[in-house]
Copies of this chain bind each other. A is one copy, B any other.
Amino acid sequence: MRTIDWVDDAVEIVDQTALPGETRILRLSTVDELVEAVRRLAVRGAPAIGVAGAFGVALAARQFAGDGDGLAAAVDRVRTARPTAVNLARCVQRVADRLPGGPDAALEEALRIRDEEIDSAERMARLGADLVTSLCGERPRLLTHCNSGALATVTGGTALAVAFELHRRGALAGMVASETRPLLQGARLTAWELGRAGIPYRVAVDGAGPFLMARGEVDAVILGADRICANGDVVNKVGTYAHALGARAAGIPFLVVAPESTVDLDTPSGDAVDIEDRGAAEVMSFQGVASVPEGADAVNPAFDVTPHSLVTAIVTDRRVIRLDEGEALGRYEPVGRRVGP
């Protein structure tokens, strides 16, 4: 199953707000429908949002054919649907650059981005699994935060793809999935994916992770990223930083798995990232049930910044950067790569 795909001239997504209760496929055939789906997190996770952005521009090319101003405005709406993940702006730009070639050229580029994401998930899984085994030995117990599985990408996932690969190799004892308030991506989505894969797991409240590490119940933390800055700072779901502090205090590896498309060398550090505040409503209710006093306010940063000094290693689809050994990100330069098309 693909989390997001292009099917019969429209975008189809698994509506993640309905999981795990219901596997609902949404068909998005206009730019506005797609932007709305991204905003309300029906599709989420940096790589999946990037593919959604690419398809959004492909939709716009068809919807606004011959209307240059309308097309430009639509592309802008897609680009700014969410502010934090660099993948969105980057994928939108790649497809927008092909718009002069017409709708089919745009779609072709969007499909290429989709295929690259599928390919990159497989590469991350292998690189990450090798690293985990080398750092933690046989059958470690891993903790993950938020959802970085197939639902955050097109198939496979980022950090969770590593867990799937370790499980295939018989080299994973089990997982702790932190529930990830306020939207419970861990309890709803990661638990659902781990259960389907047959991996033993326990859900924990977000505040418990560092204590479970201190108590010796976790061998490494492994999670995704919404943006990786030039200095190695990691922008990811709120709660990531607290888990990084816990890992450091417990002396266990803190591993970040994300495709090269998440690395943003134009952002020098986490200080430069616009952290989306998603408003009080998400915090103040639980699956629609009001729980706090009327009139209460909330602060709701959707992401936080983990300083590079707390990160053991970053695993991308192309390389492993050992920040703990002094390696820096730099620009990925494949050996012998072709220049030009």
Contact = CB atoms under 8 A, between A and B. Distances in A.
A47 interface: no
A210 B241 contact: yes
A242 interface: yes
Interface in A12-66: 20
Interface string A110-154: 000000000000000000000000000000000001000000000
Contacts of A182: 205
Contacts of A179: 181, 283, 292
A181 B184 contact: no
18 contacts: A178-B207, A179-B283, A181-B206, A182-B205, A187-B292, A191-B293, A191-B296, A195-B296, A202-B299, A203-B280, A203-B298, A206-B206, A208-B299, A212-B299, A214-B304, A242-B246, A245-B245, A286-B289
Nearest to A181: B205
- Describe A's contact surface by its main secondary structure: mixed
A211 B210 CA distance: 14
Nearest to A302: B208
B207 A207 contact: yes
Interface size class of A (residues with CB under 8 A): 35 or more
Nearest to A203: B298
A312 interface: no
Contacts of A261: none
A293 B324 CA distance: 37
Interface in A275-328: 280, 283-284, 286-289, 291-293, 295-301, 304-305
